[in-house]
Amino acid sequence: MVDQVLTDNPKQLEQYRAGKTKLQGYFAGQVMKASKGKASPVLLNKILGEKLKGSC
């Protein structure tokens, strides 16, 4: 689900890579929306952090 959100938002991902790190919250919101609020926020932020760090 995280990978899909990152793939579906290339413009925001590019902005994140350019240093706009507050977009991690945007990505978290998109995953929560896709999971209908069922994703664990703690686990989600950990996974997002790892994925985004790897994408830079």
Output the pLDDT for position 56: 62
Residue 27's CB is within 10 A of a number of other CB atoms, namely: 21
pLDDT digits (tens, 9 = 90+) for 1-56: 999 999 999 999 999 999 999 999 999 999 999 999 999 999 999 999 999 988 76
Q: What is the pLDDT of residue 47?
A: 96
The reported pLDDT for the residue numbered 41 is 94
CATH number of the domain located at residue range(s) 2-55 in this protein: 1.10.10.410
Long-range contacts of 43-50 (CB under 8 A, 24+ apart): 44/2, 47/2, 48/2, 48/24, 49/24
User: pTM of the full predicted structure?
Assistant: 0.89
Domain boundaries, the chain: 2-55
